[in-house]
Chains A and B, each alone.
Chain A
Amino acid sequence: MKLHLRIWRQAGPDAQGHMARYELDGVTPDMSFLDMLDTLNEQLIAEGCEPVAFDHDCREGICGACGVVINGEAHGPERTTTCQLHMRHFSDGDTIDVEPWRAAAFPVVKDLVVDRSAMDRVIGSGGYVSVPTGSAPEAHATPVPKPDADEAFTHAECIGCGACVAACPNGAAMLFTAAKVVHLAALPQGRVERESRVLDMVGTMDEESFGGCTVTGECATACPKGIPLTSIAAMNREYVRAVRKRR
């Protein structure tokens, strides 16, 4: 099939960007969205133009590297990552708009590549259990009720792609931060540091110029891993708890 693409091109972090138009023929329904961009890039190289830069790596929907906004939706129309979105969800002659994640905390590096290191710093400020290598007790020393383990897993699935931030009209990282807070608070191993964790992570989140939550639900709709909106409420609960226990 033949597609009309409008893709955000921006030469560098400080450069002015614009939506560029490309025509791409020979797209097949079995291609993934990134295969399609690969094909476009091969065409651009052959024409002597610079290919479109985009982040990607595992192409199995787990590393979280890829992610672009397709027709105004983070990761496109299906609930999956961009690499797992296939062209069969589009039709011949479609015009497709491709843009980078937009958020103050995610400055554009080039074209569709953004800098998501703010999310790493949120994790670094408390998204861990302080357990130096070698100091761990025997794994069966603390049984974990299955519902708690399942709850932890559901939130641990976050791939850190940033779609929640991109989809949120406030550029908030609440769902991302909540996923880690809830994951670790659900497990006995993570409960020791639960108060300082939520206070520090939320503090860093605010420092990194992410916005706040207005419960639009866009984040949970865009999340390729289905992290529920209620995890934000759970994080708020943790936060209230931590503030109360501070005294």
Chain B
Amino acid sequence: MTTPPGAGAGQDAAEHAGHAAGRGREQTGRDAEQDAGHAEQDAGHAEQPPPADADAARTVPYADYRVGEPLVDRSAPDGPIAERWDRRRFEAKLVNPANRRGHTVIVVGTGLAGGAAGATLAEQGYRVLQFCYQDSPRRAHSIAAQGGINAAKNYRNDGDSVHRLFYDTVKGGDFRARESGVHRLAQVSVEIIDQCVAQGVPFAREYGGLLDTRSFGGVQVSRTFYARGQTGQQLLLGAYQSLSRQIAAGQVEMRARTEMLDLIVIDGRARGIVARDLVTGRIDSYLADAVVLATGGYGNVFHLSTNAKNSNATALWRAHRRGAYFANPCFTQIHPTCIPRAGDHQSKLTLMSESLRNDGRIWVPVRAGDDRPPREIPTSERDYYLERQYPAFGNLVPRDIASRAAKSVCDEGRGVGPGGQGVYLDFTDAIARLGREAVAERYGNLFEMYERITAESPYETPMRIYPAIHYTMGGLWVDYDLQTTVPGLFAIGEANFSDHGANRLGASALMQGLADGYFVLPSTLGDYLARLPRDEAFRDVDRDHPAVHACVGEVTDRLFALLSNNGDRSPESFHREIGELLWEECGMARDEAGLKRALERIPALREEFWQRIRVPGSGRELNQSLEKANRVSDYLELAELLCLDALHRTESCGGHFRTESQTASGEALRDDESYTYAAGWEFTGAGRAPVLHREQLNFEYVHPTMRSYA
């Protein structure tokens, strides 16, 4: 067996093409019907021709995408921005408390968004069926967030406000986020802190007993709340404890070590999932009235990232395959201060807090291939390249600029450490200026962490750092209610394309995850359920429904195909290969030629995967190779869309940098004229060109400006 069931390669192609076209029509029909009210608004964009690169893209079949109907956020209220969330909550239909008991909601994932949503929905009275692949809901990767969480409390009286947080987030997102959503996020941020403090989250406090805040990521106000370097852990444990309370109360049924492998869509509504019990290998269908995906981002498609090893894109991708549009996949964020990898054996990178750049100076040797120990390189032969190129901001330039600069000096052969993939972050001057103790006070924990991993003391030897993927702004397209294009399927947290636009600000991921989980979704999900036609609202899906059987069958066939293929390559080797390809061609800096190379290589790699994959063991037991192989098979499809999105967006913005689109000083150059939209991609078959649906973004309150750090 060389092709996965439904992969749509080879002889299946014709059938799939027909199917895809059919679905396209169906989709269009539904949109047209439901969007009647917005028709005049849409008309202007529907006929827009594909962007200029379409001409060149014709050489790669996958890049020959079609432009479909524009996407319109039907649930967003209008009126003054500060009143929209209140209005939406008032206009949302409510579900009678007694009726909530009759509704089952599936929540996949137990991170900040999923844990908070599960607990809150259960408190409201819904029956919640929750899943996580880890052995406990407490282990979701939100736990690894270090820095902090933003909230517009203005406790410092330093001029912060909801509007300022809104403004900073829209601007930080390089004007590719939806204003209404971002404003709501800023509003809700205030309540999050209250909620977490009441749960017993031990935030840092001052001697007066009040909460401490700090400034983070170059923002001028101190609005970041933190719990030492473990803010994510503490917030997650707060949500986990609330969730545990509901599990104990019997209101949440928790399925740990159970991984979602497909979405069940019946009569156009998301009605459940197919999941595999990772211990017994049992594949089952789980049915519900609504499905919430809180499965995190897809950063692990790059193989080396700061994501947890098992974080994966399968839930997102399978939902996408079932009709949920995938938005802005090319908006990926790269963090400049990770510990470089020590060798080929390594498959996971560790992040170091960005605050290190406040006092550390970044440099590489002037001469390529200079392999003297750093202490023996005299100052005259060092290149403090950030200070040289960006004298005003120096080492504190934004993440993307610092990252690209590091890559370009390494590409020149001036990188340091194993494989030349690193630059020095030197604290010698800071220690001389502030004293060793003051430096230890600020960065002691981080230095210890670095030393544990590398066995080098940053007090004695400069640290080595290198950029790595750590967050993905893209994700499933959702409307203001966080509902995807599949009715009844919601996506929250990093899983949706969300409020960060093209770039996420520091300490905003935790804020968005909790805002979605605690406050937004629980207010909007009810509206969906309450508006269901009366005869449909409480009708349970039969477990023997043909669609359920088909879905379980497809999942089973796919796993069987993986297990029975007597190949010679491990899942890890394919993951490494696709990751390296993406990092090279679709990493920090992207260009048309590279992206096309990637788009040509990916289908071949996918074909090779299904021919040469070897998965030992059986499907009826804990089989980590099988889990991995299945995830990698989805990466091999997602990677293609990621490259296509990067190829189609010929501008540079936020985390997406196209070398063709930059200013003379190397700054990202946006093209607001052509690209002020969110790109929602519709699946048409594996390896087949998708359909692009654009959601036009309007900026009424924050007007696009150009940033400059030179």
Contacts and interface: CB of A to CB of B under 8 A. Distances in A.
Direct contact of A and B (CB under 8 A): yes
Interface of A: 11-12, 28-32, 35-36, 38-39, 42, 44-46, 48-51, 53, 55-60, 62-65, 78, 80, 84, 86, 88, 109-110, 113, 115-117, 119-121, 123-125, 127-140, 142-146, 149, 152-153, 156-157, 159-160, 183-184, 187, 189-190
The 6 A-B residue pairs with the shortest CB-CB distance, nearest first, are A143-B209, A30-B342, A136-B198, A124-B248, A128-B241, A124-B244
B202 interface: yes
B513 to A, nearest CB: 14
Contacts of B237: 156
A184 B194 contact: no
Contacts of B194: 136-139
A183 B201 CA distance: 9
B343 A31 contact: yes
Contacts of B123: 132-133
A135 B199 CA distance: 11
Interface stretch (B44-52, B226-234, B268-276, B396-404): B226-234
B570 interface: yes
Interface in B11-67: none
B124 to A, nearest CB: 9
A14 to B, nearest CB: 12
B144 interface: yes
Nearest to A59: B348
A40 B119 CA distance: 40
29 contacts: A30-B454, A36-B345, A44-B616, A50-B616, A55-B135, A56-B310, A57-B134, A57-B309, A57-B311, A62-B144, A64-B136, A65-B134, A65-B139, A84-B452, A86-B453, A88-B455, A120-B247, A133-B518, A137-B194, A139-B194, A139-B211, A146-B209, A149-B202, A149-B203, A153-B227, A156-B237, A187-B202, A189-B199, A190-B200
Interface string B188-220: 000101110111111111111111000000000
Contacts of A183: 200, 202
Q: Which of A35, A42, A88 is the most central at the interface, judged by chain B CB atoms within 10 Å of its CB?
A: A35
Given A30-B454, A57-B310, 14 more contacts: A35-B346, A35-B347, A59-B309, A65-B139, A109-B622, A117-B256, A120-B138, A128-B241, A131-B242, A139-B197, A142-B197, A145-B209, A156-B237, A189-B197
A56 B452 CA distance: 18
Given A57-B139, A187-B200, A123 B455 contact: no
Interface in B481-536: 518-519, 522
Contacts of A32: 453
Nearest to A30: B342
Nearest to B194: A136
Contacts of A88: 455
B142 to A, nearest CB: 10
Given A62-B143, A127-B241, A128-B242, A139 B309 contact: no
A198 to B, nearest CB: 14
Contact of A113 (B193, B233, B311, B622): B622
Contacts, number: 219
A137 B198 contact: yes
A111 to B, nearest CB: 8
Contacts of A42: 570, 572-573
B616 A139 contact: no
B3 interface: no
A61 to B, nearest CB: 8
B78 interface: no
B202 A156 contact: yes
A25 to B, nearest CB: 13
B579 to A, nearest CB: 15
B625 A51 contact: yes
Interface residues of B, number: 82
A130 to B, nearest CB: 7
B649 interface: no
B553 interface: no
Nearest to B136: A120
A70 B55 CA distance: 59
Q: Which of A133, A152, A159 is the most central at the interface, judged by chain B CB atoms within 10 Å of its CB?
A: A133
Given A139-B193, A146-B209, A110 B135 contact: no
Contacts of B606: none
Given A45-B570, A45-B616, A63-B143, A129 B191 contact: no
Interface string B140-167: 1101100000000101000000000000
Contacts of B394: none
A117 B194 CA distance: 30
B84 interface: no
Nearest to B133: A57
Contacts of B248: 121, 124-125
Given A127-B244, A129-B199, A149 B204 contact: yes
Contacts of B135: 55, 65, 113, 115-117
A140 B211 contact: yes
B83 interface: no
A140 B153 CA distance: 10
Contacts of A127: 241, 244
Given A45-B570, A138-B194, A139-B153, A131 B134 contact: no
A180 B692 CA distance: 50
B134 A152 contact: no
Contacts of A51: 616, 624-625
Nearest to B145: A62
A31 B342 contact: yes
Contacts of B120: 132-133
B9 interface: no
B137 interface: yes
Q: Which of A63, A78, A139 is the most central at the interface, judged by chain B CB atoms within 10 Å of its CB?
A: A139
Nearest to B573: A42
Contacts of B201: 156
Contacts of A31: 342-343, 345-346
B141 to A, nearest CB: 6
Contacts of B242: 128, 131, 133
A63 B141 contact: yes
B548 interface: no
Contacts of A36: 345
Nearest to A111: B622
B343 A60 contact: no
Contacts of B666: none
Contacts of B137: 120
A157 B232 CA distance: 11
A123 B199 CA distance: 14
A172 B366 CA distance: 58
A22 B233 CA distance: 36
A176 B202 CA distance: 17
Given A30-B343, A120-B136, A136 B245 contact: no
Q: Which of B308, B345, B616, B617 is the most central at the interface, judged by chain A CB atoms within 10 Å of its CB?
A: B345
Given A57-B141, A140-B210, A48 B350 contact: no
Nearest to B615: A45
A48 B198 contact: no
Contacts of B247: 120, 124
A65 B110 CA distance: 14
Contacts of B306: 60
B279 interface: yes
Q: Which of A42, A48, A63, A160 is the most central at the interface, judged by chain B CB atoms within 10 Å of its CB?
A: A63
A47 B566 CA distance: 13
B200 A136 contact: no
B116 interface: yes
A131 B143 CA distance: 21
A136 B139 contact: no
Contacts of B572: 38, 42
Contacts of A153: 202, 227-228, 234
A63 B202 contact: no
A190 B153 CA distance: 23
B621 interface: yes
B670 interface: no
Q: Which of A48, A80, A138 is the most central at the interface, judged by chain B CB atoms within 10 Å of its CB?
A: A138
